[in-house]
Chains A and B, each alone.
Chain A
Amino acid sequence: MSVRSDAAVAATTGGERRIRLSTGFRVALPVIIFLLVGFAAPLLAVIGFSFMPPRTFGFAGQPTLENYITIFESTSYISLLWSLGLALATVVILILISYPVAYGLVRVFGRWSTLVTLLFVIPLFVSENVRLYGWVLFLIKNGVLLGTLKTYFGVEPESILFTTGAILLGMVYVYLPYMLFPLTLGISMVPNDAREAATDLGASRWQVFREVELPLSMPGLVIGCLLTFVLAVGAIAEYKVLGGQQVIPITHDIEIAFTYAQNWPLGAALAVLLMLIVGVLVMIALRRFDLDRFLGRR
């Protein structure tokens, strides 16, 4: 049942309706003010800072495009491409491995679904670098995996730790719940009647999936892809903990500019570029999205 209760709104008189509008705005106000101060203002500060002369620490300087020119002349685009490429690969792998689980949560596991959900939620609350460190201990030479293989099977393969593959593994691992849960919500939006009707009309299993399930669960899939992509583009711990220094992501460049290099304006300009890419993607995907339909279904 949607709480918007259109019938109730239609039934109220014009005067009452006006009161409702202001009530909605009034209860929204604390969050709006907070996000203006805590989200919009810091982003504006970053944008402002990106136009300050290099190596300054205040807003007093003469605005300049120097930082952006430095970026376009540097090799930062390589880091950016790595970040975007690995994020894309993460999203594709996540779709493939979490779809069966999401499907099972809605249609197969029945009363076990709550427990299964809980099992996938718990890791969310343990800091990601702790869990990534668990992978280090698992994959490292003489660690859980290679130690077992060596002692009990007498084989000694190379460790995949500190390779691009390990980074990808870490990202898939950390962002799995962010794909799984939106996808589950999406699949639960597919009415069972629609599937059965298609089957009764003689559709094959694959046709039901392609013509009914996939299009109807699309909102969940889109949200899941968007969320995991954005988070993966901003990833940094995975590269540091599991990747050694094999691949340098854009977030690393930004962090270096802010820390060792002490060049805040350059770091700000890099951050603005990343924000632009993420922002455009999110805007496009969310522009025509009906959140009430997506979240209101239970």
Chain B
Amino acid sequence: MRNRMLWIAGAAALATVASLSMTVLLAQAPSGTKKALPQTATSTDAAIKASADAFKKSVELKNYTVPKKPWGEPDLSGVWLTATYTRLQRPEELGDKEFFTEEEAIAEYKKAAESDAEVDPRTVHYDWKEYAMDAWQGGATPNLRTSLIVDPKNGRLPPPVPEAQQRRAAAAAAARQLDPMLGVKTFGNLYTRCVLGLGAIPLVRGGMPGADSAATAAGVTAEAFFFQSPGYLTIVMQSNNDVRIIPTDNRPHVPSQVRQWLGDSRGHWEGNTLVVETTNFFDPKPATNFLGSTDQLQLVERFTRVGPNTMRYQYTVTDPKTWTRPWSVESSMPRVDPSMIYEFACHEQNYGLINVVTGTQIRFREGVRDLRGNGAPE
């Protein structure tokens, strides 16, 4: 009964979104593409064509002069979309092929958008196509790159160090042996618990078809609000309203005893690029940091505005307790209008967690042991 009430509320909300989705598309589309946009939110083909057209116009402008803030810094402010269909890791069959042709890129995008719009009753309750929740309706664009990872050259994560392999094996074994009295901390992942939102650091994580793609790729909360003021870039995520305050005066980090979920960020300008180095991550056991990394995670992000509506976003990940070498990503974030963020009071009304944990406890008692995807630690 509780569940049903929740679904009814959710469905009503989604129906409202559906009726508004067209306007949202219009608001987020690059200027000049409005006429090409579909007249209904269910027209995947028309939306894909509009995205492809925008993509062909080239997102990076040659000789683009980035506007400056009154105090002289390049203007990075605005809301930037972190959703993408580009995979973090390159499919192995593509080998060293770093770029698609334009036609291939559009075909890949079409494939991803169509699979996003498909209804699989085993995994989703709503037809995203109808409810404007797909990344393609949120503004994700095609990409020539075959993977977000640009280093190593094969576009794949470096091999894990032995310690990381042991950690993963131990976590998997523990997940199989969980007892029926499992609770919030054991089952609920950080997102389900409203401890953290999706992808505050790093911001762009790739469309990973399968387990994690829906949450990370969907356009509805994949927005980062960049508020720039003298000496600071402050990033507020739409998802969970996670806040990252980044001083840009290169002051020293907080003492090493101070550990935070989102680390401790320090920025400095290199020409038009804001370079942000983040350390002092928390050890969030039994959950992990980004992709299973530890409190030794160090992230260097580079933000460069390369067009009025495009932010180039690069980052390098180092964690000697997880990977045998550092690895790097290159991606871009389209700009979203209007430039504002709304309150996301997640924990305050986390009705879902009650249902999630109760349901998972029941499934476990019924003998289901593979609880991955239900918030169990991975």
Whether both chains belong to one complex is answered with: no
